[in-house]
């Protein structure tokens, strides 16, 4: 059903966006054609390792924000789950950790992928484990759920059915990713950042005006709707889980996931990579204002004697996830609706293109190249393109299974990260901070962590009732479970390890960066980092 009445101006805005995207991709391909053939793999998978801080930071942010963020965060704001914004705010801390702790190791090693780095630090088994787990997780979660969310959103705005909308977006995104490679991905990310922010900011401004201003929104809503902190017994975001559990998921996603880290690997040097991570940290503070608060605005407009609209009832429950399209329908003028849809498309395409390229990089560099070490760069690029097509087809085939699941799908997928992240976060974090841990400890930590995470998932999904003394395992909050699982994995990693090994000595004895590079721009980066931390503390205080 076409919920929003779009006119010619709106369609022109959307068409103009697509046209501009392909102009950029065409220019990227033209420039890439002038590169040396010997640099083919580096150009295709990491943009020639020559990206500046602004492009790195913009791509980090844009690739992270998908349609599920816009819909989910707005829905969280509308349902009273304002604390969901904490995940976005804490991401700023994680980006600082990426820039200051992890980036020097990654850039010095000159790796293409995170599994490749794990092999340098531990062993081949660790690399194989992370490669296959990452690809499988991308197909079953990130790619499929982004396509589903995008299809659902676009059918709200455009007169097309779900599969038509999904296939169009996948085809367009897959085409420019396959042809243009990583550089096409990051430069379209840059464009999509501005389109996404423009549409979301416009929605917030028009929404506040229609609602009667910020003071009216505050007066009409309960205090909990504007509080970032929840009690320790909160079902979704207890403060203990936020402070101690969410950072574990953050280390995995922002500091070790190929999908994200590939951006800093493509930076021209340490200074640009670090500054890009800091810039992305500032950008990650914006979802509170442009995604979550519009949900609160939408909720406030459903209150009073003459509400502007009401959320639909689906399966007997209030559909708070409809906050974004409902608010758009109520407040956006002609032209801006097209901008918002372009922003939604931008978010969807940015996330999809990023994960498409990351998957092809993992398969090509970590799996195929190990099977055929003498393969030439030109062949690697073509293998990467074929891998992208196969991954797209597998993800589309998985979508009907996702659609068959009833209720709470997105929340279950978020909690799934708590079952996957802790063992990976443990081996990476201790891998760059401790010389004691070794390959044996890493192997057992990954195995134990995976078994416990899978066990929790199976028991939860099957609703199996455990004896009273074991119910805590399945009933504890998913963020609290992440704390438990991380503690177990760190303990196994530390105590099973036998001490220093040759690989550990090599990893730590190599000079991180040259003295000139380490000092260049470091004062500015430190000042910006302090300002970012202060901004986070201010937000915590204002929305306490």
514-540 pLDDT, tens per residue?
445 444 557 888 999 999 999 999 999
Judge whether 303 lies within some domain: yes
- Secondary structure (3-state) at 20: helix
What is the Cα–Cα distance from 197 to 70, expressed in whole angstroms? 11
Q: What is the DSSP letter of 155?
A: H
> Taking a C-beta distance cutoff of 8 angstroms, is the pair 438, 508 a contact?
no
pLDDT at 538: 97
Query: Do residue 124 and residue 221 come from a single domain?
Result: yes
Residue 229 has, within 13 A of its CA and on its CB side, a CA count of 9
Last residue of a domain, one of 358, 381, 401: 401
Q: Which two tokens stand for residue 461?
A: 């999904």
Q: How far apart are CA 363 and CA 375, in angstroms?
A: 14
Domain limit, last residue, from 371, 401, 431:
401
What is residue 229's three-state secondary structure?
Answer: coil
Note whether 194 and 86 are same-domain residues: yes
pLDDT at residue 382 in the model: 85
Mean pLDDT, the chain cut into blocks of 10 residues (544 residues total)? 65 83 70 52 55 89 76 87 92 95 87 87 91 84 76 72 79 73 69 80 92 92 92 90 94 90 87 94 95 94 81 74 82 82 75 80 84 81 84 81 51 75 95 90 96 87 75 89 97 89 50 48 86 97 94
Count CB neighbours of 268 within 10 A.
Answer: 16
389 shares its domain with 442: no
CA distances for 339 relative to 59, 150, 176, 210, 342, angstroms? 20, 16, 21, 18, 5
Query: What is the residue range of 444's domain?
Result: 411-513
Residues 151/140, Cβ–Cβ less than 8 Å: no
Q: 83 and 200: one domain?
A: yes
- Does one domain contain both 395 and 458? no
Which whole-number Å values give the CA distances from 56 to 53, 70, 279, 329, in the listed order?
A: 5, 22, 9, 34
- The Cα–Cα gap between 507 and 121 comes to 6
Nearest residue to 274 (alpha-carbon basis) of 37, 520, 493: 520
Query: Does residue 499 lie within any of the structural domains?
Result: yes
Asked if residue 336 and residue 206 are part of one domain, the reply reads: yes
User: Token pair of 348, please?
Assistant: 């969807």
Q: Are residues 380 and 420 in the same domain?
A: no
Q: Is residue 519 part of a domain?
A: no
Q: Which residues pair with 313 in a beta bridge?
A: 318
In a domain, 367, yes or no: yes
pTM of the model: 0.84
Both 463 and 327 in one domain: the answer is no
Do 68 and 204 belong together in one domain?
yes
Q: Are 395 and 421 within one domain?
A: no
CATH number at residue 241: 1.20.1730.10
The structural domain count of the chain equals 2
User: Do 428 and 384 belong to one domain?
Assistant: no
Q: Are residues 375 and 490 in the same domain?
A: no
Residue 150 within a domain:
yes
Residue 284 lies in a domain: yes
Domain assignment present for 1 = no
531 in any annotated domain: no
């Amino acid at each position: 059903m076409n919920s929003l009445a779009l006119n010619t101006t709106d369609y022109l805005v959307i068409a103009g966006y697509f046209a501009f995207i392909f102009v950029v991709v065409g220019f990227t391909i033209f420039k890439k054609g002038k590169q040396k053939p010997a640099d083919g793999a580096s150009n295709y998978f990491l943009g020639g390792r020559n990206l500046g801080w602004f492009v790195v930071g913009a791509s980090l942010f844009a690739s992270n924000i998908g349609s599920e963020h816009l819909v989910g965060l707005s829905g969280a704001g509308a349902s009273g789950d304002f604390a969901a914004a904490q995940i976005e705010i804490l991401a700023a801390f994680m980006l600082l950790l990426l820039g200051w702790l992890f980036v020097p190791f990654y850039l010095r090693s000159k790796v293409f992928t995170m599994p490749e780095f794990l092999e340098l630090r531990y062993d081949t088994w660790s690399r194989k484990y992370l490669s296959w787990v990452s690809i499988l997780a991308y197909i079953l979660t990130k790619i499929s759920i982004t396509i589903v969310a995008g299809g659902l959103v676009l059918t709200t705005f455009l007169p097309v059915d779900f599969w038509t909308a999904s296939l169009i977006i996948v085809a367009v995104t897959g085409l420019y990713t396959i042809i243009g490679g990583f550089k096409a991905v990051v430069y379209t990310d840059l464009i999509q950042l501005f389109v996404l922010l423009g549409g979301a900011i416009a929605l917030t401004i028009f929404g506040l005006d229609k609602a009667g201003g910020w003071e009216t929104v505050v007066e009409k809503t309960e205090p909990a709707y504007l509080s970032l902190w929840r009690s320790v017994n909160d079902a979704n975001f207890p403060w203990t889980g936020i402070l101690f559990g969410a950072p574990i998921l953050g280390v995995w996603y922002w500091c070790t996931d190929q999908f994200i880290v590939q951006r800093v690997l493509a930076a021209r040097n340490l200074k640009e990579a670090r500054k890009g991570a800091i810039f992305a940290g500032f950008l990650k503070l914006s979802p509170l204002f442009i995604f979550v608060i519009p949900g609160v605005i939408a909720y406030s407009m459903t209150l009073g004697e003459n509400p502007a609209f009401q959320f639909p009832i689906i399966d007997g429950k209030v559909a708070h996830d409809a906050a974004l399209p409902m608010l758009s329908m109520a407040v956006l003028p002609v032209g801006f609706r097209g901008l918002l849809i372009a922003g939604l498309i931008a978010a969807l395409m940015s996330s999809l293109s990023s994960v498409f390229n990351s998957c092809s990089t993992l398969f090509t560099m970590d799996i195929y190249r190990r099977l055929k070490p003498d393969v030439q760069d030109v062949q690697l690029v073509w293998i990467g393109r074929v891998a992208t097509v196969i991954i797209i087809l597998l993800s589309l085939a998985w979508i009907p299974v996702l659609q068959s699941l009833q209720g709470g799908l997105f929340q279950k997928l978020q909690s799934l990260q708590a079952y996957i992240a802790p063992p990976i976060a443990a081996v990476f974090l201790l891998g760059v901070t401790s010389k004691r841990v070794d390959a044996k400890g890493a192997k057992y930590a990954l195995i134990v962590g995976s078994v416990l995470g899978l066990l929790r998932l199976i028991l939860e999904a099957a609703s199996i009732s455990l004896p009273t003394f074991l119910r805590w395992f399945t009933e504890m909050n998913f963020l609290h479970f992440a704390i438990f699982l991380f503690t177990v994995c760190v303990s196994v990693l530390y105590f099973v390890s036998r001490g220093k090994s040759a690989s550990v000595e090599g990893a730590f004895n190599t000079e991180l960066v040259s003295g000139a590079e380490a000092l260049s721009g470091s004062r500015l980066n430190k000042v910006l980092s302090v300002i970012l931390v202060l901004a986070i503390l201010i937000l915590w205080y204002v929305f306490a």
